[in-house]
Chain A
Amino acid sequence: MSVMIKLSVFRHDPVGSSKPFMQAFEVPLLKPGMKLLDALNYIKWELDGTLTYRRSCGEGVCGSDGLNINGVNGLACITPIEGLKQPIHVRPLPSMQVIRDLVVDMDHFFDQYRQIKPWLQAESPLPEHERLQSPEDRARLDGSYECILCGCCTTACPSWWWNGDRFLGPAALLQANRWIVDSRDDATGERLDQVEDAFRLYRCHQIMNCMEACPKELNPTAAIGHIKRQLLSRKS
């Protein structure tokens, strides 16, 4: 008899009439270093095929399986079972509309990402080869470009819970800063204009849940602080 892992998984089908509930599962510990996603896969493939969740790469790169695990947001695929208090409570990302079980509606999240225009806006003519950047300028993108847009930070932010319709949230603002600091981008002024707003940017009250939640160990609060300092230096 192998060691069993106890899980309590959020189930909800908005199309049906039943209310959301937590379903208990027991999964054998298949291998040392087993991740939470392995347990969810076991449930789906061996116990209950109706369990619905997003997954793709399984190694913390695609950002599909952002979940609320024992009350803390993280990626199921890189969260080890060991160290998690059992039964492991697995819920969808907080404050999000549930499509089914652990799958949430990410439309608004990605719409906010689109609003910060996450692409290079350069005035200078296109060079024959790539746009060059010094190693120092490139190093300034460290801590921003690694973001995989899993939504763990934004859905952990109380400011975004209360005012998510207007506050852009940590993920989008981290990316806004990524383009503001990029030496190849010429639209810094417009980018700062776009976020200079009591709600879009200044709803951040440095709660720092985003930094706690980020599975890639990035610091969106610091990025937001950098945007605020840029606005300060522009005005004073």
Chain B
Amino acid sequence: MKTIKEPGSAHSGFSDWYWQRLSAVVLALLLPLSFILLVAVYNGSIDQQGLLNILDHVFSRVVHTVLIFALIIHAYIGLKVILEDYVHVLAWRIPLISLMLVLMSGFAIWWLAMIWAWV
């Protein structure tokens, strides 16, 4: 007979669920903007200087920052859930989630530095 000791509720999980959905809404609104920009460059409506002018604007930088935050939060929670689903050994799960957090934070910092260090 399978006996499992019941550890009770950890009162967690709500924030992950909430932030994943909130970031999804932000992504759904902001991600298409970058593709519109891309298409505009490809079909020649915007030249390089025009693109730089758009990205350089403080409004664009703020929107870009929000987009990166939403992207990282959404990807982090999504991949964390997958690791929790399939990696059952805590000695693997916790280091993998931590490694993912470090890599993603590094990526976000690098990207934000590019956005804001633009002269």
Contact = CB atoms under 8 A, between A and B. Distances in A.
Contacts, number: 58
Contact of A193 (B4, B7, B11, B12): B11
Interface stretch (B13-21, B55-63, B106-114): B13-21
Contacts of B4: 108, 111, 165
Contacts of A231: 14
A107 interface: yes
A201 interface: yes
A228 B17 contact: yes
Contacts of A166: 7
Contacts of B12: 196-198
A200 B2 CA distance: 18
Given A105-B1, A162-B85, A198-B84, A115 B13 contact: no
Interface in A98-137: 105, 107-108, 111, 115
A231 B9 CA distance: 14
Interface in A185-207: 193-203, 205
Contact of B86 (A115, A162, A196, A201): A162
Interface in B8-36: 8-14, 16-18
A198 to B, nearest CB: 3
A159 interface: yes
B87 to A, nearest CB: 10
B85 A198 contact: no
Given A162-B85, A202-B16, A202-B17, A197 B11 contact: yes
Interface of B: 1-4, 6-14, 16-18, 81, 84-86, 88
Interface of A: 97, 105, 107-108, 111, 115, 159, 162-163, 165-166, 193-203, 205, 228, 231-232, 235
